[in-house]
Structure formats: C-alpha cells, structure tokens
Structure 1
C-alpha cells in the first residue's frame, strides 16, 4: 500500500491554491464597472494562491516542483506572495471605497519591503532548507537571519490588516458625512471581511510566535486553523465582490483643513437653515452633501463645517433628524390618516424602512405605529406619564 502524501490539512491548502487561481482568472475576464478593483482582487487572490502553494512545497517533503526551484527559488516566491497580500487587500478596499481612486507612483513604496526581503535572501543566500530550519549547516547566526525573514512576512500582513479595518471604519464615518441615506449592508460586510483577514493573519502570527517559544504542535494547530479560515474567507470575499461590491457608494477625499475652515459665518449658517426649513431639501431622496451644497450655493467644506461645528453632528444624522420631524408631522396629522407608514417614510425623504424605524425609535422613543396610535407629538412623554 502506498504511503499517504496528503492529509486533510494539505488538501485544504491545495483547494485554496486551485480556487484562488480559478477565481483570479474568472475575476480578470468578468465584465465589471471598477476594473482597478477587479485587478487588485485578482492580485490578492494570486498572492494567496502562490503563498499557499509554496508553503505546501516547503513543509510537505513529498510535494516537489523541480529540485532547483524547490531549493533556491521557492523562498523568493513565498516571501513575495506573503508580503504583497497585505498591500493588495488594503488597496482593493481603497479602490472600492474611494471615488476616482487610481494607482500613483507614491504607491510604489508598498513594494519596498519586497525589495528589501529579496536583497536579504540573496545576500545571505537563504534557501528552502534554511527557511524550513532543516539545514544541517545552520548556525545560531544563520537561524537569526531566517527568523528575521519570518518576522517580516508575519508582521506586515497583520499591519496591513489593521490598516484595512481602519480604512473601512473611516469609510463608514465618511458615508455619514457625505450621504443622507445609504445601505449599511455593503459597508458592514466589507468590514467583517477585513476583520476576518486580520484574524487569519493574527493566527498566522501567533503560530510563528508560539513556534519560537513553545510546543511545535501548538504552533501547528494555529497554522492549520489559519489555513481553514483563509479558505472560508477567500470564498466569502469573491462572493462579496460579485454580489455587494458594485453597490458600494464611494466617498470623496476629505480636504486638509486649515485655520480658515474653523471660522463659521452667519451667512453660511443661514444658508444651511434656509435649505432645510424653506427649501426642505431633506425631502429629496439619496441626497448627498455635494448636491445639497449646490442647492444652497455654499461650498461643500463650509456646509460640512456648519453641520459639524454649529449643529454638532454629521450630514447623515442632520438630514434624518429633519426627516423624522417631518414623519412625526405626517403621522400626527389627521389629514394624512390614510397614509401607510411606508408612504410616510417615503414622503419624509427616507429610502430605507430599517433606517426610518431605527432613527424614529431612537429620536422619538417609540415606533411610528405607536406614535400614530398615541396621537400626539410628544407620544413618548405621554406614554411615560401614563406608566
């Protein structure tokens, strides 16, 4: 009977490699509106595929490509793939969330760690035996050189994972500053995915740390868990790219504020007030801060300053507060008793039932149905008094 070459954990790596290559090809030929995001996603998938394949060859003695490649060239492919997967994910998130995002010469600095690692491998002639700590000629110095390589390839993805999570958090904040109504589903799932990859790369880092200080078996357990989590996340990321990514709203780059931005004029405050109270612009569906600024003839940065500093809120909250007041008026007016709650939310400027109910409950204290049933503008207070 032939000896078993692959165990179940190796099979997961093989499936990850195969699926990433196929998905990268599929992503490349798929007609999309955001071509740069598609290219960056394909790059990320290829990094994961190459990294997983090299890890399989490095640690499984029964898997070979070519003796020369396995011994001398594999470290370069492995290190490059492991380092680049972090920037690829971060730039993919940036291309999805930022308006008119494109790669610029300044983005080349993301390649600096790769170049440094290549020089390190070449100068100290680190091969696969060194990288897997199987070299019989290894000294304490040579092991420390190899440890440096592993420190870098484990730390950098973790750092980029944190940066990607922070980028999604900033994106959600900018949505509230620039849009009066948006779906939370797409940004929410994007944040979940970035957190997922951060967890995955944390597991990989923990496995590396444990390998230096504790039992190899414990380290292997964390490494194996990382492989399974990666396989799940790759499928989730590709599904997200097909179903949700194209629905994301993009945000504009926030200009650097100077000292003049801090001074609010009475004229600017009055224009914003007139836009809300006279023009009733909050009734317009899908209103963003650019459209609002055009309607009141005031620069976006001044509109933002008035809302942030004079009213102490963001554009999203500002608009929806007025919409809730309009909904209260309609619900308490007997002339509109035949209107359904859906009619009310649409006529108030809301697009989403969930957003309407969430804001109404938070600002009024009761649901729209309860508010109408109580039949008074201060339904929440009336209800509390009765209790």
Structure 2
C-alpha cells in the first residue's frame, strides 16, 4: 500500500511542477494546480500518519479536513472546463465549507479541553466520548458524495450542450473526466464501507481502511496525470457574448430563450433556405473543426440566431444537422467509382469526420448500416 501512495505522490509532484511553470495559464489551470496541491497534501497526510509519525492540534485538523476543500476545487475545475463562469463569489462559497469545518473542530478541541491527534490516517480525540466525537468525519463523507454526484450532473449537461455548438465530440466530450469521477465515486463508496466496518464492527485495522483512501487518491492523481494535464476549457476559443447564447441549453430548453430573439417565422424560413444553399454550395461541413460560431460568421448572423433556425426549422441540434450532410456526402462517395482510390476511413476524413468510430457510429445511426455493409 505504501508503494502505491509513494507512486501517486511522485506523479502528483511532477504534474504540479509541470503545470506551475506552464505559460499563459488560464483560470482552469489554477483550479487544477490547486486540486493537485490538495491531493498531494492528503496523500502526504496518510503516508505520514500511517507509516511515519503522529500530528496533533490545528495541523491534524487542517490536513484531515482537506477532502472538504479538494472536492469543491475539482468541481470548480469541471465548471471551468464545461464553459461555466466561475465567479469569485462561487469560489468563496465552495471553499468556505472547509474553513468553517476546521474552525468548528478546532473550537471544539478548545472547548472540551482535549487534544486531537492524527494517527493511522484519522483523528483521535482524547478525553472525549461525546456523540459528536464519533461523527466528526460524517461531513467529509457527505461532501464527497454530493460533489461526485454534482460533477456527474454537470458533465452530463455538458455532453448535451456540445451538440448545440459543435459538429464533433472528440476531445471535448470530457468522457475521460466522467470515467475518472465515476471511478472515484466507486472507490469512495468502497472505502466508506471499509471505514464503517472498521470503526463500527472492528472487522479490520482502521489504518488499512484509511490507507485505502490514500491509495484511491493516488490512483486519481495518476489518472489525471494521463488525461488532465493538456486539457483546456472546451469553449475557450469561441465567443458567445451575444444575448440568448445557446451554451448549456439542450434542444428542449431552447424554445424559451428564442422567444425574445426577434426572429419571425418568415425570417427563420428565409435564413433556413440561405443556410441550405450555403451548405450545398460551400460544403462547410468538410471542415472537421466546424462549430456553430464559425458557421454563423460565414453566414453573417449571430450564433444564437443560427441555433434557433436549426432547432426550430429543422427540429434537430447543430451536431446532427452537420453530420447529416457529412453522411450524405459519404454515401455518394462510397457508391461512386471516382473515389475507389480512397478507403472507407479516407472518405470519412474527406467528409469532415474526425475519427473512424464517430463516422461508423453516426453512419449506422443515419442509414441503419455500417459503411462497409452499405458499400456491399
């Protein structure tokens, strides 16, 4: 167990310094940097108190309570990645939970005239057998569970929102982050059960339970080391400053914001015809990085108006609208002898798809057949 803790700690330190010296850091980089620092402190806390020596008083309370800070910082990082505005008030609100908890626990130590010791990864409260002294870790468990669920809801919303803004999903759907959070949630439940069994029924040494917590954090650091370092905010290169921006709105939620857009039904029909002509003549869908903002610039209209036209006139989202054209072009190319020199994958790239998997998935969704079967 100690080896895994040390490996996670080493990778975390490497990530921390690589990000620390990264140029042109964005807000999300600072959240990520802060989260790595908090995780390193937590892993160090378990490594020291389980395998080295005890910590007492304020420092014991501060380090043990770090999960109340780590979970909110990860949540703020995910908010930034998914294009939400993270204000100073939001940061203060979520980080204040940690400060309040530390103050309460430290004040309780002074009030009960006792000493809190961090040993084997958890807190021992001397000269106290009060009810609260047996439940001091409950807020940490509740916070971890709530923020995991909150993270997953934000990521689910994000996967819906990108279909209104992008013609692709590769590298922006944040699936890797969903996998990491889900894995952490599973590990969190397992370790919580493990700790409960150790504290309430003495099924195994409590130090092993908290060592498992430290290992979980180490594994999470390793996962972020593989995926998170190069991740940037999905919406950082797109300007959605116009009113009624479609960001974070699913197609079902878009009708209400559009009610104040100023577009009449006749105007929507005119724009829809202009869009269709532009798509056929200019074939902008062949650009694999096409997004709503870029297409709107080409048509000299606002992204919100373009989104309204696609959603209300064609009854689909931007992602499906663009990929329908890509599939139609692919079908034509597959059936034509003029493109025999291209493989199926070559045709997919020519039509604007970013990967073989996305091409196969959307082609089958549109035609009911795989590209190879369609060609037979």
TM-score, structure 2 as length reference? 0.79
Q: Distance in 2 between matches of 1:51 and 1:208?
A: 17
Q: Which residue of the partner structure matches residue 382 of structure 1?
A: none
Aligned to 1:124, the other structure's residue is in SS state helix
Q: Which residue of the partner structure matches residue 348 of structure 1?
A: 351
Q: Which residue of the partner structure matches residue 137 of structure 1?
A: 127
Q: Which residue of the partner structure matches residue 49 of structure 1?
A: 40
Aligned to 2:167, the other structure's residue is in SS state coil
Shift of 1:185: 7.9
TM-score, structure 1 as length reference? 0.77
Equivalent residues in 2 for 1:145-160 (5 A)?
A: 145-160=132-147
What are structure 2's unaligned runs of at least 5 residues? 241-246
Shift of 1:153: 1.6
CA RMSD of aligned residues (A): 3.3
CA contact (8 A) 1:48 1:85 kept: yes
Matched, 1:229 2:232: no
Deviations 1:201-234 (Å, cap 9, x if unpaired)? 3333333443454334186665444333322221
Q: Which residue of the partner structure matches residue 117 of structure 1?
A: 101
Q: Distance in 2 between matches of 1:54 and 1:337?
A: 62
Deviations 1:277-332 (Å, cap 9, x if unpaired)? 44434344321111222333443223323433443332111110122112222333
Q: Which residue of the partner structure matches residue 294 of structure 1?
A: 297
| Larger helix fraction of residues | 1
Larger radius of gyration: 1
Taking structure 1 as reference, are residues 47 and 274 closer, same or farther at Cα in structure 2, changes over 3 Å only?
same
- Structure ranking higher on relative contact order (CA contacts 8 Å, 6+ apart): 2
What are structure 1's unaligned runs of at least 5 residues? 1-8, 65-69, 374-387
Correspondence for 1:210 among 193, 197, 217? 197
CA contact (8 A) 1:200 1:230 kept: no
Q: Distance in 2 between matches of 1:33 and 1:186?
A: 24
Taking structure 1 as reference, are residues 229 and 259 closer, same or farther at Cα in structure 2, changes over 3 Å only?
closer
Q: Which residue of the partner structure matches residue 361 of structure 1?
A: 364
Correspondence for 2:19 among 6, 10, 27? 27
Shift of 1:174: 1.9
Q: Which residue of the partner structure matches residue 268 of structure 1?
A: 268
Taking structure 1 as reference, are residues 226 and 367 closer, same or farther at Cα in structure 2, changes over 3 Å only?
same
Q: Which residue of the partner structure matches residue 245 of structure 1?
A: 231
Matched, 1:104 2:88: yes
Taking structure 1 as reference, are residues 174 and 34 closer, same or farther at Cα in structure 2, changes over 3 Å only?
farther
Matched, 1:178 2:181: no
Shift of 1:150: 0.5
Aligned to 1:156, the other structure's residue is in SS state helix
Number of aligned positions between the proteins = 353
Question: After alignment, is 169-178 or 296-305 more displaced?
Answer: 296-305
Aligned to 1:366, the other structure's residue is in SS state coil
Correspondence for 2:56 among 59, 71, 80? 71
Shift of 1:32: 4.6
Shift of 1:152: 0.9
Shift of 1:20: 3.1
Q: Distance in 1 between matches of 2:272 and 2:115?
A: 66
Q: Which residue of the partner structure matches residue 381 of structure 1?
A: none
CA contact (8 A) 2:80 2:233 kept: no
Q: Distance in 2 between matches of 1:58 and 1:360?
A: 56
Q: Distance in 1 between matches of 2:208 and 2:103?
A: 32
